Structure 1
């Protein structure tokens, strides 16, 4: 009978939804971290959104929304709800996030999606960084298109790139930045091709 009582107590203590948890960074440079739990219902919404992607470009557009949702839900459990785009609108506010907080947290979120098999057209890379005007250092999460299949949109782009390069070999896989630092908490993340981001041309955001 004792084991039945113990089993009942464990069942009562168990969460209603298994979900998944990650740690989010804030207060600049990952000075503070808090665990965030995503319920199965929330993860199901992300899976349904990404599952409708029909191409790499479509997946990037939906990934922009998904990252906003995930960070918005995290803001319901942690101080990062106070985070605003850039580093000035929330200066001194508890829960603010700099680019290191965003790139670290964003990469963790992307790897969560990747581990569940929900990224069909991209793989997750380590964060990338740039330097503008000699002193403006900026970090962001990074993804790379999966090798294109014949007849796909990505395959067409790769063929065009190879042709432009003289046909000397296969084109390098396209890389993109997923940068939530530019937007307020819960807003869609910036998803932009790596070279434009390295050049500081954030206005070239994909629709």
Structure 2
């Protein structure tokens, strides 16, 4: 005999299944890994800023803040809450993250946002590496794309348009129908690093043009 599953149990199960799970790594070189589950309500609150972005640079600015919030939530479930900017301030601390940990984890977080459709102006690429003298540094990377058009809002057609079309063959009257504004011009193909290694856990990530970052730009942390 089949047993019915209580409605409240189905609701709990559905909520748990809807929560994205992302693996983050820490303790340098991704020696340790842990899964982070993002409660849908808290995740939705974070990505509101991304939805409000009307151009690529606004999305990058919002993305920096969202990444900080995602790492803050990750710090509630894993030791990465102890991570500090660079490598010296948290040396030996459980949960410390070097640039390999950050580039790997940030890329995973970005891909989660991308999969959810939260990125309209960018796509996620593989991490980049820069080499200066004998030092290497890694970071997550995004690339600007042609904006994904938002869902069209219903258009209110003026009353006179239908009347004129019925009375005459004057297609120019269609110009009276309001058109949604075109998205502002951007710079598709431009690449940017999203570097969370430069900041303490929970702070907005640093977003820089990839070439500037390759040339050594970024906060002076060690």
Q: Could you report, residue by residue, the CA deviation over 1:39-81 in whole angstroms, capped at 9, with x for unpaired residues?
A: 0111211331100001100000000000000000000000000
- Within 2, Cα distance between the matches of 1:97 and 1:10? 40
Aligned: 1:178 with 2:210 = no
1:152 match: 184
Structure 1 position 10, deviation (Å) = 9.3
TM-superposition CA deviations, 1:103-151 (whole Å, max 9, x none)? 000000000111111111111000000001x211000000000037987
Secondary structure in 1 matching 2:3: helix
How far does the alpha carbon of each residue in 1:139-187 deviate from its partner, in whole angstroms, 9 at most, with x for none?
0000000037987241xxx5xxxxxxxxxxxxx7110000000100000
Secondary structure class of the residue paired with 1:71: helix
Partner SS state of residue 14, structure 1: helix
Equivalences for 1:1-207 in 2 at 5 Å? 2-4=2-4, 7-8=5-6, 11=9, 14=13, 16-17=15-16, 18-132=18-132, 134-147=133-146, 152-154=184-186, 158=187, 173-202=189-218
Gaps of 5+ in 1: 159-171
Q: TM-score scaled by structure 2?
A: 0.77
Deviation at 1:9, TM superposition (A): 10
Q: CA RMSD in A?
A: 2.2
Structure 1 pair 148–53 and aligned structure 2 pair: CA distance change class (3 A):
closer
CA distance in 1, matches of 2:14, 2:60: 32
Distance 1:3 1:67 in 2: 43
Does the C-alpha gap of structure 1 residues 151 and 15 become closer, same or farther in structure 2, counting only changes over 3 Å?
Answer: closer
Tell me if the contact between 2:120 and 2:147 (Cα under 8 Å) persists in the aligned partners. Answer: no
1:15 to partner: Cα distance: 7.1
In the TM superposition, residue 188 of structure 1 has moved relative to its aligned partner by 0.2
Larger Rg: 2
Distance 1:198 1:180 in 2: 16
